[in-house]
Amino acid sequence: MNLDFSPEDLAFRDEVRAFIADNYPPELAGKAEEGREIGREDFLKWHRILAERGGWSAPGWPVDYGGAGFTPVQRYLFGEEMARADTIPVLPFGINMVGPVIYTFGTPEQKARWLPPTLNGEIFWCQGYSEPGAGSDLASLKCKAVRDGEDYVVNGQKTWTTLAQHADWIFCLVRTDPDAKAQEGISFLLIDMRTPGITVRPIITLGGEHEVNEVWFEDVRVPVANRIHEENKGWTCAKFLLAHERTGIAGVARSKRGVEKLKRIADTEVSLGAPLSSDPIFVRKMAELEIDLLALEYTELRTLARESSGEGPGPESSLLKIKGTEIQQRITELAMEAVGPYAQANFRSLGGDNQPPVGPDYAARVGPTYFNMRKTSIYGGSNEIQRNIIAKLVLGL
């Protein structure tokens, strides 16, 4: 694989870097790193700015649907520059998850209705997959939808629904045939969050943040026209979506940014009279982490090359998900080790108010970030499930 970028690629990188420098809202700069709350309009503001720049909010969408249509290398460089500038990321729920499902499986009417506002940041999406008894074993979900004329009547519960408190719409897996085999009786519905009968209840994380929620459905009426693909064929959509989600979860560019921050901490934090960067044990851990991250980066580039040839993400998306999330967690573990007791002291209160940092500024978000990143090996299909997928599809076991 040729790892040299062409002059055209380097010119594109410079274009992206200049655009971010000129257009990223200054009021958003450093907001995530400093632990300040990021609200609905914060996410959508940057999304809309990118959308106005020729569909840059959707780097991987085809131009026919309003996306940027970037090549795999351009997508890679675009992600690198977004991470380099430490921008608020474009949320994946609309762009990377439900959008590709709609333009792959939706009708012309559904594409016309939902793709433009998703691209332009007019719809804030959330994901209705996990349930209290259906997480890694997603096919055991029980949230049901019963056909009643031209509507479905939905009853049940979803949990760990990220940012549902801000969402306009939710894409849901629901059971439409309780007598069919688990994976054969599921449908994929798009539901307006303003529909009567929907209740969103917050789940406060260990870091004191309101990021995830419970979502309850009580006799919620959803038009049949909001079903994507055929009835009872939603599992096809679900697998397609999860493959795209897992590829994005790898987070190579953001992890590279995390390693840079960790190096700065190691150069500053003093242990036993000298900076951690002079501790051979800590340096070895950092070196092992960087080697694994480099290997993951090459694997991601191979996956993008596969997609450029017209193939969707394959079983390698499971590998990206496993290694990507493990590396993300290792970065936070080393940060915890580096700042020591300062990590425990810096937590947002359960009321959501920011507290003055204890100790150096770089320690302010280490503890909450460590606990928040424990989830990465679970969502998008737990890493144990991904190993089973690799065993079956790659090793033939």
Tens of pLDDT, residue by residue over 273-305, are: 789 999 999 999 999 999 999 999 988 887 777
Is the residue at 110 inside a domain?
no
| C-beta separation of 250 from 229 below 8 A | no
Q: Do residues 195 and 266 both lie within one domain?
A: no
Residues whose CB is less than 8 angstroms from the CB of residue 14 and which lie 6 or more positions away in sequence, other chains included: none
- Crossing angle of the two packed helices 7-23 and 72-84, in degrees rounded to 10: 40
CA distances, 345 to each of 276, 360, 364, 365 (Å): 20, 11, 8, 10
Identify the pLDDT of residue 310.
66
Q: Do residues 263 and 136 both lie within one domain?
A: no
CATH code of residue 346:
1.20.140.10
Identify the pLDDT of residue 352.
44
Task: Choose the final residue of a domain: 234, 259, 287.
Answer: 234
Q: Do residues 366 and 266 both lie within one domain?
A: yes
CA quadruple 97, 100, 103, 109: dihedral, nearest 10: 10
Q: Do residues 175 and 130 both lie within one domain?
A: yes
Q: Which two tokens stand for residue 317?
A: 């998306």
Q: pLDDT tens digits, residue range 76-108? A: 899 999 999 999 999 999 999 999 999 999 999
Q: Do residues 267 and 385 both lie within one domain?
A: yes
Pick from 227, 235, 247, 234: which is nearest to 97 by CA?
247
Identify the pLDDT of residue 349.
43
CA quadruple 387, 392, 394, 397: dihedral, nearest 10: 110
> What is the domain extent for residue 326?
250-393
- Domains contained in the chain, number: 3
| C-beta separation of 156 from 143 below 8 A | yes
Pick from 139, 130, 135: which is nearest to 170 by CA?
130
Is the residue at 183 inside a domain?
yes
| C-beta separation of 62 from 310 below 8 A | no
Pick from 287, 151, 276, 310: which is nearest to 220 by CA?
151
Q: Do residues 256 and 388 both lie within one domain?
A: yes
Identify the pLDDT of residue 121.
96
CATH code of residue 84:
1.10.540.10
pLDDT in tens, the chain (397 residues): 455 688 999 999 999 999 999 999 999 987 766 667 789 999 999 999 999 999 999 998 999 999 999 988 898 899 999 999 999 999 999 999 999 999 999 999 999 999 999 999 999 999 999 999 998 788 999 999 999 999 999 999 999 999 999 999 999 999 999 999 989 999 999 999 999 999 999 999 877 789 999 999 999 999 999 999 999 999 999 988 877 666 667 889 999 999 999 999 999 987 767 899 999 999 999 999 999 999 999 888 877 777 666 666 667 778 888 999 999 999 999 999 999 888 876 655 434 445 566 778 888 788 888 988 999 998 878 888 889 988 888 877 6
Q: Do residues 140 and 221 both lie within one domain?
A: yes
* Residues designated as active site: 245
Q: CA Rg, the chain, in Å?
A: 22
Q: Do residues 201 and 299 both lie within one domain?
A: no
CATH code of residue 192:
2.40.110.10
Identify the pLDDT of residue 272.
63
